[in-house]
Amino acid sequence: MTIRFLLNGREVACESAPDRRAVDLLREEFGLTGVKEGCGGGECGACAVLVDGSARLSCLMLAAQLAGRSVVTVEGLGTAEAPHPLQTAFAEHGAVQCGYCAPGMLMAAADLLARDPSPDREAIAGAVSGTLCRCGGYGKIVEAVERAAEAMRPGPVRKALRKKRGGA
């Protein structure tokens, strides 16, 4: 069947068996190998992508389930020229060791910050606790998410400006 969806902000269409795993479709058809696979069974969180804004495990989704949705992978979160604040914070604060868990961690964190722009450390740890980091870098991962949240939060000046302009 033909599956149409929004992938990293672009309309895409592709031919696929409806029961193909979403992780395979993204990695093999679209070359988005930033989507990692660590278990294929919903246990490690490495394969998370944003589907309509919430983090979902692409190893447990079928290609057909992407139809009509907006899908964002780690490649679509930010770019080399304009990294997402979470990506910058991960790199700067040492949240990347082998880095194989990073894409899944970033997706879980992006999902969290969209819901809660000022999470405390416990909330961050809870939000990423479905994503395994075998390098044991949890401390720095939580710290990086905290720093990114700060960078993304409108500070007093930005808040005041927005108010003046009538923005939200």
Partner 1 sequence: MPQEFSQIDRRHPRNDALPKALGLERFAADHYPEGLLWAGARRAGIPHARIRTVDVSAAAALPGVVRVLTRADVAGSNLQGIVHKDQPVLAGDKVRHCGDAVALVLAVDRETLARALSLVRLDLEPLPGVFDPAQALKKGAPLVHEGRRGGNVLVRASIRTGRGAAVLRECPVVVRGTFSTPMQAHAFIETENGTARLLPDGTLEMTVSTQAPFRDRFEIAQALGLDPMRIRVVAPYLGGGFGGKDGATVQCLLALAALHAGGRPVKMWWEREESMLAGYKRHAARLTYALGADRDGTLRALSCRIVMDSGAYAHLGGEVMALGMESAGGPYRIPHADIRGLCVYTNNPVAGAFRGFGAAQTAFAAERMMDRLAEKLGMDPLELRLRNALRRGDRNAAGVTMTASTGMAACLEALRAHPAYAAREAWKRAAPPHARRGAGVAAACIGVGYGRGLPDAATARIELTETGTFRIFNAVPDMGQGNASAFALIAAEALGQSPASFELVQPDTACCLPSGSSSAGRTTYTYGNALVRACGALRDRLLVRGAMALLADDTADLTLAPGAVRHVKSGRAVPLALLARMMILEDRTATAEFVMPVTPDATGGKGFVIGFPHLLFAYAAVLALSEVDELTGAVRVRRFVSATDGGRVLNPQGFEQQVAGALIQGMGWALSEDVLTREGRILNPDLSTYLVPTAADAPEVDCLAVDSVEETGPFGMKGIGEVNLNAALPSIGAAVQDACGARLDAAPLTPEKVLGARPRRARRTP
**Residues 34-53 vs ligand FES: string with x where CB under 6 A?**
---xxxx-xxxxxx------
Q: Which segment (41-49, 63-71, 149-157, 159-167) binds partner 1 by CB under 8 A?
A: 41-49
* Distance between start and end Cα atoms, the chain: 41
The verdict on 28 binding ligand FES (CB under 6 A) reads no
3-state secondary structure of 3: strand
At its nearest, how many Å lie between ligand FES and the CB of residue 168?
A: 35
At its nearest, how many Å lie between partner 1 and the CB of residue 38?
A: 4
> 95 burial class (0-12, 13-18, 19+ CB within 10 angstroms)?
buried
d(CA 139, CA 142): 5
The verdict on 91 binding partner 1 (CB under 8 A) reads yes
**Residues 94-133 vs ligand FES: string with x where CB under 6 A?**
---xxxxx-------------------------------x
Closer to partner 1 by Cβ: residue 68 or 126: 126
Residue 3 phi, psi (nearest 5): -115, 125
> 74 burial class (0-12, 13-18, 19+ CB within 10 angstroms)?
buried
The verdict on 62 binding partner 1 (CB under 8 A) reads no
Binding site partner of 57, from ligand FES, partner 1, none, Cβ cut-off 5-8 A by kind = ligand FES
Tell me the HSE value of 80 on the side-chain side, using a 13 A CA sphere.
0
Which pair of structure tokens corresponds to residue 52?
């309509």
Q: Which of 1, 18, 53, 129 binds partner 1 (CB under 8 A)?
A: 129
| Spatial contact of 97 and 137, defined as CB atoms under 8 Å apart | yes
Residues engaged in binding partner 1 (CB under 8 A): 24, 27-28, 31-41, 43-44, 46, 73-75, 77-80, 83, 86-88, 90-92, 94-103, 106, 124-126, 128-142
